[in-house]
Homo-oligomer: A and B are copies of this chain.
Amino acid sequence: MSHPLRVAIAGLGTVGTGVVRLIETNRDMIAARAGRPVEIVAVTARDRSRQRPVDLDRYAWADDTLALAARPDVDVVVELIGGADGAALDLARAALTQGKGLVTANKAMVAHHGLDLAETAAASGAPFAFEAAVAGGIPVVKGLREGTAANALTRIYGILNGTSNFVLSEMERTGAEFGAMLAEAQAKGFAEADPSFDIDGVDAAHKLAILAAIGFGTRIDFAAVRTEGIARVRASDIAQADTLGYVVRLVGVAALEPAADSTSRLLQRVRPCLVPFRHPLAAVTGATNAVVAEGDFSGRLLFQGAGAGDRPTASAVVADLIEIARGQCGAPFSVPVSALAACPPADPGDRIGRDYIRFTVADRPGVLAEITAAMRDADVSIESLIQRGRAAEGEAVQVAMVTHEGPERCVAMALELLRDTPSLTEAPLVMPILSD
């Protein structure tokens, strides 16, 4: 067996200690599969004195994070510090510039700086891999880079944030409201103290932008991802969706859409959606993630598993290390970064689809007529409409509808027509219906 792959780990939180534990636990198996041992030589973290569930004494401790990347006895740096910029980015750049491999679980950094880092990697010939940055333990980066490599992909979509999915599926299971289920997620450790990146869809948007680049061969365009979180979804929306044959899921969708000039446009959105009961994503509950890739030859492929957690994420980090040890780590975005196409964002108004729209209305005569007139004037055709009387005096009344298939710009126009009416007591909630 040849020389070991020598690894430095920066960041020793749950994922970092998970990686240490995994490399120690499955040492022989990893060596057999990688063709050579994978050995940790040095580690670092902000606070050396912190109690950790693994023994780090056998590894060199680096006080200076950047010094890790300069060590002559290190082949690959594993960056688990987190954050799009700052120490993580400095380390990533330093490692790649010096020809060290870089493995990271940092979706924010890859979404913001992945192209720059890939260019640096290409220039120095260093491997750069980030399986763990997307959907935790699910090997979907490899799935797109290798499994679907023969296909023109038309759409990539999925459940990319475990916290949001836990909250939505618990709302569905218990009938409770968002706030209570978010609190439960926090109590169970599924949600951060500040859960805004999860709940607002930003975390899912990071992952979606990365998947779109790999799957479509386009330059990462995180800024173009239109993102809407789950905080406005109510128990009554979920109940309504259920009677119509749907569940509510936070779905990231990336699609390459033909434009009039025969070029393509890239649609990237993260939104709560109505998912038909029979669709595989409807069965995805709890903190699980799932990604669907639709290829012109493969058809619909589904990759599902744990989207977060120390052990699944460590599994993805070490899979990258094994790939590097094997010498099989190719272009991080499947094609050389210089070959990625700059693809303009699609106008979501062009999208043809069906929507669920929930209005919260004042309980007075003529409201329904006003809403339906606006729909008519904007050319929105209504498939079904449900108005439920309020349960108690003073409670808001809800009107929910599902539209027939049509361009989204018509729905937007209808809502614009209703924007200033005193009949609506709050902004309507629009959730697209996931098409097959």
Contact = CB atoms under 8 A, between A and B. Distances in A.
Contacts of A30: 149-150
A318 interface: yes
Interface string A311-353: 1101111110111001010110011000100000000000000
A59 interface: no
Scoring A33, A139, A149, A301 by chain B CB atoms within 10 A of each residue's CB, the highest score goes to A149
B297 A150 contact: no
Interface in A95-138: 131, 137-138
Given A150-B26, A326-B330, A330-B328, A301 B137 contact: yes
A150 B319 contact: yes
A315 B148 CA distance: 7
Given A304-B302, A326-B330, A151 B297 contact: no
B311 A297 contact: yes
Scoring A26, A33, A143 by chain B CB atoms within 10 A of each residue's CB, the highest score goes to A33
A152 interface: yes
A298 interface: yes
Contacts of A290: 302
A331 to B, nearest CB: 8
A217 interface: yes
How many copies of the shown chain assemble into the complex?
2
Contacts of A297: 18, 22, 25-26, 137, 311-312, 314-315, 318
Contacts of A389: none
Interface string A281-307: 001000000100001111111111110
A77 to B, nearest CB: 18
A183 interface: no
Interface string A201-226: 00000000000000001000000000
A269 interface: no
A179 interface: no
Interface residues of A, number: 59
Interface in A16-30: 18, 22, 25-26, 29-30
A303 B148 CA distance: 13
Contact of A143 (B139, B314, B318): B139
B301 A138 contact: yes
A142 interface: yes
Interface of A: 18, 22, 25-26, 29-30, 32-35, 131, 137-139, 142-143, 146-152, 217, 278, 280, 283, 290, 295-306, 309, 311-312, 314-319, 321-323, 326, 328, 330-331, 334-335, 339
28 contacts: A25-B152, A30-B150, A32-B217, A33-B334, A35-B331, A137-B295, A138-B147, A139-B146, A139-B147, A143-B143, A143-B147, A146-B146, A146-B319, A146-B322, A148-B319, A149-B319, A150-B315, A150-B318, A278-B283, A280-B283, A297-B312, A298-B315, A298-B316, A299-B305, A303-B303, A303-B304, A304-B304, A328-B328
